[in-house]
């Protein structure tokens, strides 16, 4: 069956082929640099041993495996993804690990797991959706966080494409979602503030193209007319 996209410009809605070979493709395209980068970023999330973590758009479980290394016996991770190919790889990876579970769930629609987490992690997912949908995803994150819970977003940083080299601009436009173009130009600290989060830290990678943004849930939600 041919999978159809919910959002035509999205490239985070992967084809079954790309999903099946996702980790290998990332290693290949990054000339082997991805493994070291993601291990470093996972180490900078600030995971506590007892954390319960919700991983939105968890993919193959590669990030979850790195987060799991930092958890103690009471810590746990729940990965959510829409693709069967991701479910198969994720469940295979954690076959013998009771602390990690998977749920086939769309994250771009409102859902409620009736469960609260210490940390919601979302990696290379948000840029691939229209802004209105990103807000639904972040509302889902908010709904599943305990009071004072943390949201960690690993994704593109804010930067101006115009100030990058011609070759960078070409590759970015060719391989990235059209949606990513407005993601990189959005003021995420302001947007997160409006959605009830306070940004507490950030780390940059790959010449400031990628950012790990760490925020905490605060109670007050500012209402804004702007997108
Ligand atoms: C670019 S991959 C990132 C995977 C993983 N977070 C990582 O950093 O390796 C995007 C992931 O989002 C998932 N995804 C795309 N649309 C989704 C949706 N509507 N609901 C849940 N997951 C979705 C894809 O199946 C894929 O696993």
Nearest alpha-carbon partner for 141 in 113, 104, 101, 103: 113
Radius of gyration, alpha carbons of the chain? 17
Beta partners for residue 152, in sequence order:
121, 214
Judged by DSSP in three states, 138 sits in helix
Q: Are the C-beta atoms of residues 53 and 77 closer than 8 Å to each other?
A: yes
Q: How far is the CA of 178 from the centre of ligand 1 (A)?
A: 16
Nearest alpha-carbon partner for 22 in 65, 78, 83: 83
Q: How far is the CA of 116 from the centre of ligand 1 (A)?
A: 21
Per-residue pLDDT of the chain (227 residues), as tens digits, is: 445 789 999 999 999 999 999 999 999 999 999 999 999 999 999 999 999 999 999 999 999 999 999 999 999 999 999 999 999 999 999 999 999 999 999 999 999 999 999 999 999 999 999 999 999 999 999 999 999 999 999 999 999 999 999 999 999 999 999 999 999 999 999 999 999 999 999 999 999 999 999 999 997 565 554 44
pTM of the model: 0.95
- Fill in the DSSP letter of residue 118: E
3 lines ligand 1 (CB under 6 A): no
Q: How far is the CA of 54 from the centre of ligand 1 (A)?
A: 13
Distance CA 55, CA 122 (A): 6
Q: How far is the CA of 83 from the centre of ligand 1 (A)?
A: 8
124 lines ligand 1 (CB under 6 A): yes
Structural domains in the chain plus CATH codes: 16-217 (3.40.50.150)
57 lines ligand 1 (CB under 6 A): yes
Residue nearest to atom 12 of ligand 1 (CA): 57
Q: How far is the CA of 11 from the centre of ligand 1 (A)?
A: 9
Residue nearest to atom 3 of ligand 1 (CA): 124
């Amino acid at each position: 069956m041919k999978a159809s996209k919910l959002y035509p410009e999205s490239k985070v809605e992967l084809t079954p082929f790309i999903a099946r070979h996702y980790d290998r493709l990332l290693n290949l395209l990054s000339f082997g640099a991805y493994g070291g980068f993601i291990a470093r970023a996972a180490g900078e999330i600030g995971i506590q041993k007892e954390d319960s973590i919700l991983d939105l758009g968890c993919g193959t479980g590669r990030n979850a495996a790195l987060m799991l290394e930092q958890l103690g016996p009471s810590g746990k991770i729940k990965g959510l993804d829409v693709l069967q190919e991701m479910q198969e790889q994720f469940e295979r990876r954690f076959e013998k690990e009771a602390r990690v579970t998977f749920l086939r769930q769309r994250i771009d629609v409102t859902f409620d797991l009736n469960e609260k987490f210490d940390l919601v992690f979302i990696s290379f997912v948000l840029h691939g959706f229209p802004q209105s949908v990103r807000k639904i995803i972040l509302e889902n994150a908010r709904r599943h966080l305990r009071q004072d819970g943390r949201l960690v977003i690993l994704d593109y940083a804010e930067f101006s494409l115009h100030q990058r080299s011609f070759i960078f601009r070409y590759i970015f436009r060719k391989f990235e979602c059209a949606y990513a173009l407005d993601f990189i130009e959005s003021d995420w600290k302001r947007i997160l503030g409006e959605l009830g989060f306070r940004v507490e830290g950030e780390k940059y990678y790959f010449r400031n193209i990628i950012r790990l943004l760490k925020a905490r849930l605060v109670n007050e939600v500012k209402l804004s007319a702007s997108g």
